[in-house]
Amino acid sequence: MDHPQFLVARQGALAVVTFNRPEMHNAFNLSMWAGLQQTMESLSAEDALRCVVLRGAGTEAFSAGADISEFATARVDRLQEDQYAKIFNAGMQSIRLCRHPVVAMIMGNCLGGGAGIATMCDFRVGGENIRFGITARNMGLWYSYAELDVIIQIAGTGIAAEMLIEGRIYDGREAYDRRLLSRVVPEDRVEAEAIALAERISEGAPLAARFHKAAIRKLRGPLPVTEADISGNNAFVETEDFRNAAEAFLAKQRPIFIGR
């Protein structure tokens, strides 16, 4: 489970996992997406554990999402993107598949894949001044079916459209009103509230918590999409819009989308 950018601290029956890359606003590179899966699967196997809390190092960002600076080397063509997507999706789904309830402690920016991680959690506690949104459209990215499905389950198709098509970025109160947060509190109370929530979860019967988490997931059933649909999800990497947007981001310029 050891990974230099995931710090795991124990607090009784709780495990607090910190994304430890504050100099990059806790953005995830490919190694971290793989490390997320390894970390969550290792924690899931622990019978003595009752709850997992995810947080970013510092208070400026839960996570800024995927590290765009590595796109030019890690997401160059369809072959690379298929591999990247496989690792990315496995990391995301490891949160849902974790046997134990998972709480997101959200401070600062929670954007792109960072918001994706948060929506994979069973509970989300955020500050009033957070920035919460998925910025896929700004990069010419196509958000994955399995991760989009969770947003629809939480908040409905209207909010999913706001996030993915309009590109809305919400503050904490707006995110709470749209059911994207379970709790919204002042910034200086986020950590205390998230830990208190995790402790309340831990006071319940662990087998009941694990059953109910799995039952909620199982009742959703399989995704109503084909393997061809899922494979086509990665075709964006072949577009000029994606390549141009990644270059524009690194140059701190606004991308110009041409629709091809």
Burial of 200 from C-beta contacts in 10 A (0-12 / 13-18 / 19+): exposed
- Strand ranges (DSSP E) for the chain? 6-11, 14-19, 51-56, 61-63, 102-106, 109-111, 123-127, 131-133, 183-185
pLDDT at position 249 is 87
Q: Which amino acid is at 235?
A: A
Structure token pair of residue 222: 């399989």
SS3 234: coil
Task: Note the pLDDT of residue 93.
Answer: 97
Q: Report pLDDT for 219.
A: 93
CB neighbour list of residue 76: distance below 8 Å, 6 or more residues apart: 237
**In this predicted structure, what is the pLDDT of residue 198?**
98
pLDDT along the chain (260 residues), means of 10: 89 97 97 97 97 97 95 92 95 97 98 98 98 95 95 97 97 98 97 98 97 95 88 91 89 90
Locate 174 and state its tokens. 């707006």
Asked whether the whole model's pTM tops 0.85, one would answer: yes
Helix (H, G, I), strand (E, B) or coil at 148: helix
> What confidence score (pLDDT) does residue 1 get?
58
Domains along the chain with CATH numbers: 6-189 (3.90.226.10)
